[in-house]
Structure 1
Amino acid sequence: MRTAYRVETVRAAEAEVMAKLPDGALMQRAAAGLATTCAGLLRRVYGARVVLLVGSGDNGGDALYAGVRLARRGAGVSAVLLGSRAHEAGLAALLGAGGRVADDPYGVLARADLVVDGITGIGGRGGLRPEAVPVVRAARDSGAVLVAVDLPSGVDADTGEVHGEAVRADATVTFGAYKPGLLIDPAREYAGALRLVDIGLALPPAPEVEALQHADVARLLPVPVGESDKYRRGVVGIVAGSARYPGAAVLAVSGALRGGAGAVRYVGPAGDAVLARHPETLVHAGPPAKAGRVQAWVIGPGLGDTPGVDDVLASDVPVLVDADGLRSLDPPAVRARPAPTVLTPHAGEAAALLGTAREDVESRRLEAVRELAGRYGATVLLKGSTTLVASPTGPVRVNPTGTPWLATAGSGDVLSGLTGSLLAAGLAPRDAASAGAYLHGLAARHASRDAPVAACDVAEALPGAWRDVRSG
């Protein structure tokens, strides 16, 4: 599992280590890891042209000492000084190793093979300063590999927000711990490939953000045993679809049937369409309260004005609410439910729930998902370029799987059915939402192979994603 920590937590851990080490030793550890990554990105170090963009803080010092190591291996290293002052010892060491300070930043950038962004550190706020913007643009336009030190300059380490101009790196070398902004859009888009360098920090057990990996999801997935039957494995109820959108019901049921539950009960007007595609489904005309016992409900995909939301919310089992079901939610009613609730909005739906603009949600995804979870007392799966899962307490989970090809009609219906099935199988809300998002994104990767994919293709690929996770 990848874990990410806020700046203040990382700074406190660094202070503890620095108190036990000789002066400058922690920076040397960071610089060694940075130099190793830079060397690996170059075809060869000897004769390579490296440019360091050096700010006033410790990130500039990390860049300078990494430049020292590269210069000693035969690279031509030039420093472009962008702050009010440079790290004195680091600059002296670079000059002593044969590096130089560039008089013309644009000349050296035009010939660079690799550029190191050490302009601002994890404490930076707001975008790049105006004087740094043309230099960063020249670095990007040069075609050189661009490596960020700890995080790209101009992005917010704690929130993933980007205000103004920021560095778009090909790779980011971060020290001690991931920072939330490296895992969450929009900042994640600026970070490129991530490399974590261990510098010996002792971090608390509860991170700010965590990202599950194959082994974590495999431990969560329900596996039937010899005495299992369809009811012991869990029954999920699906209230979805309408005369206008019968396909939403089919897709939600498709996701649910491949999500680990023993049976699926469908309630709604699209029963004929559901049975034509999935004859194993248990179909009922409704209302939901009379459809039979379930261990979890999913309501909302393609629902339109079809009733049922109040009926489902009044039940004593976990409920997942998506799409049209989100429109009439009352926060006090959701908080008062005797069983857990999972909400799965996209950015537009989240904006409506929060009373703000879609652009606001997309620019501050971490804050928005936390606010929704707190307001409704629910687990919230915020869909989008990075899918986030938040409960009222505990770390926010960021989903690392997926592909832009998932931005297709009906894919969210499949996710709702899949996640609801995991709820019915007994997973806790945060685990069900996290595992559902992970499998859904992985299935989309399997189905698309960098080509267009339809929602039904994602559903068909879920067994393969399940096997992939289980096999490690």
Structure 2
Amino acid sequence: MLRAHLVEDIRSAEVGAAELFGWDGLMQRAANALADRLGELVPANETVLFLIGPGNNGGDGLFAAARLCGPARAVQVCLLDPERAHTAGLAAALGAGAELVEEPADQRWVVDALFGIGSTPGLKGRAANFAAWAEETRAHVISVDVPSGIGVDTGTVPGAAFAARHTVTFGTRKLGLLAGPASLRSGDVDLVDIGLADYLGQAAIESLEFADGSLFAQRLRPETTDHKYTRGVLGVLAGSMQYPGAAHLCVAGALSGPTSMVRFLGERGLADRVIDRNPEVVAEAGQVQAFVVGSGGPDEDGPVNQALAAHVPLVIDAAGLSHLPARFELDALLTPHAGELAGMLDCARAEVEADPVTHAQAAARRWNATVLLKGPRTIIASPDGRLRVNLSGTAWLATAGAGDVLAGFAGSLLAAGLDAFDAGSLAALLHGVAAERVNPGGPITASGVARALPLTLADFLQGAEA
């Protein structure tokens, strides 16, 4: 599982580590690791331009530049503010043979060492000009710790910021490297150990990995004594005669998960069509351990109220999100996309997309429910403050019906005994991995994702590689 921390916690950890290594020792550890990674990334015949800001981030860059200098490597340094450059670092870089330049020009490989985790989001002045130059010239940017200009603790990008292809980050990941629009500017993130691990507290955000199957295997694998009622029964209230496909896809997602029975309780005519396609589905009311409701359903409160009356955990998707109770008194997972969450919170879609973490957390508190906010980096926010982000998936997953499959699969995990936070987190992870597997690098369908989910779940529980 990946973990990221907030700036305040990282600063506290740095104080603890500095007592062991010294402040200069911490900087040297970071600079050496950065130089090693740059040596691997940048071709030997390419000039490397270091854009250097004030403070420790610039110091890390300057000491790394000094180490990178050599007979076969041209290194240049451009200072944002010469009067505030790290004195010892600048002396080391120039002494090792780095060339001081006034402005960037035609360099292809650029190290962004302008601002670290303590800076205000959004670049201004000359720093913003540097970021614009890098974007216009399509320079290969490698950021030091974080891309300069991003909201490190929020994942936002409120102004000019660098878009890195690689980020070398120190000690721990940062929230902005995993979540929100900022994470899409971080490129491939390399975490290097500089000795903070023993001093870090609770993570601000987590991300499940495909290697985490052992965390769930005992809860999801059936025992030899289990039968269809002990493995979990899921009730489905999805689809309509207007959107019959949503019923089929939600049921397909549900059948792809660990639950042992699906009860489809939608319209009778639709139920007959669902059973024709999936004869294992039961179209009669009865005991269920969880409900999924709303996918492709009618815009009315009946289905949600029917599910609530069962007093079991539930997933609410799509049309159901317009008919929520004031607050939930049971375990609930809400699965909006940005537009739906904007409607729930009475704000603009652009506001949600600009700051998905804050809006997902606000909705989780407002309804006392776990919120799975679908997007490029899906956010899972619990009302108790826990936060996860999903990193699996492909842009091809933005396809009709994918959300219906996700809702059904999450409902299956909920019926099998996971709580809403784990069910949402695991559903997002495996839904994304299944999508990656269906047709690597090409278009996919929601039905294809559903078909890939059973084997994906099996591999996950058995510890196979994605």
In the superposition, the TM-score normalised over structure 2's length comes to 0.95
Q: In structure 1, the residue corresponding to 2:69 is in which secondary structure? A: helix
- For residues 370 and 55 of structure 2, what CA distance do their matches in structure 1 show? 39
Q: CA deviation at 1:157?
A: 0.5
Q: In structure 2, the residue corresponding to 1:359 is in which secondary structure? A: helix
Q: Percent identity?
A: 45
Q: Which residue is 1:287 aligned to?
A: none
Q: Which residue is 1:25 aligned to?
A: 25
In structure 1, what residue type is equivalent to 2:286?
G
Q: CA deviation at 1:138?
A: 2.8
Q: Which residue is 1:118 aligned to?
A: 113
Q: In structure 1, the residue corresponding to 2:22 is in which secondary structure? A: coil
Q: CA deviation at 1:116?
A: 0.5
Residue 71 in structure 1 maps to residue 69 in structure 2: yes
Residue 471 in structure 1 maps to residue 466 in structure 2: no
Residue 302 in structure 1 maps to residue 296 in structure 2: yes
1:187-212, Cα deviation, whole Å (9 max, x unpaired):
11100000001010134452100011
Q: Which residue is 2:391 aligned to?
A: 400
- For residues 3 and 23 of structure 1, what CA distance do their matches in structure 2 show? 24
Q: In structure 2, the residue corresponding to 1:435 is in which secondary structure? A: helix
Q: 8 Å contact 1:377–1:392 — kept in the other structure?
A: yes
Q: 8 Å contact 2:213–2:463 — kept in the other structure?
A: no
Q: CA deviation at 1:42?
A: 1.9
In structure 2, what residue type is equivalent to 1:279?
P
What RMSD, in angstroms, separates the aligned Cα atoms of the two structures?
Answer: 1.5
- For residues 56 and 383 of structure 1, what CA distance do their matches in structure 2 show? 38
Q: Which residue is 1:443 aligned to?
A: 434
Stretches (4+) displaced over 6 A? none
Of 359, 370, 375 in structure 2, the residue corresponding to residue 379 of structure 1 is: 370
1:232-273, Cα deviation, whole Å (9 max, x unpaired):
111000001111011111100000001110100001112122
Aligned length: 456
Q: Which residue is 2:58 aligned to?
A: 60
In the superposition, the TM-score normalised over structure 1's length comes to 0.93
Q: CA deviation at 1:465?
A: 1.6
Residue 164 in structure 1 maps to residue 156 in structure 2: no
- For residues 200 and 73 of structure 1, what CA distance do their matches in structure 2 show? 32
Q: CA deviation at 1:141?
A: 4.2
Once the two structures are overlaid, the 10-residue window that deviates more, 219-228 or 241-250, is 219-228
Gaps of 5+ in 1: 285-290
Q: What are the equivalent positions in structure 2 for 1:99-118 lying under 5 Å apart?
A: 99-103=98-102, 105-107=103-105, 110=106, 112-118=107-113
1:159-187, Cα deviation, whole Å (9 max, x unpaired):
11001211011100000010000001201
- For residues 293 and 67 of structure 1, what CA distance do their matches in structure 2 show? 66
Q: 8 Å contact 1:120–1:154 — kept in the other structure?
A: yes
Once the two structures are overlaid, the 10-residue window that deviates more, 305-314 or 367-376, is 305-314
Q: 8 Å contact 1:51–1:114 — kept in the other structure?
A: yes
Q: In structure 2, the residue corresponding to 1:349 is in which secondary structure? A: helix
- For residues 347 and 113 of structure 1, what CA distance do their matches in structure 2 show? 36
Q: 8 Å contact 1:126–1:156 — kept in the other structure?
A: yes
Q: 8 Å contact 1:42–1:113 — kept in the other structure?
A: no
Q: Which residue is 2:184 aligned to?
A: 189
Q: 8 Å contact 1:373–1:392 — kept in the other structure?
A: yes
Q: 8 Å contact 2:131–2:160 — kept in the other structure?
A: no
- For residues 465 and 384 of structure 1, what CA distance do their matches in structure 2 show? 21
- For residues 400 and 233 of structure 2, what CA distance do their matches in structure 1 show? 26
Of 342, 350, 356 in structure 2, the residue corresponding to residue 365 of structure 1 is: 356
Q: In structure 2, the residue corresponding to 1:251 is in which secondary structure? A: helix
- For residues 135 and 430 of structure 1, what CA distance do their matches in structure 2 show? 41
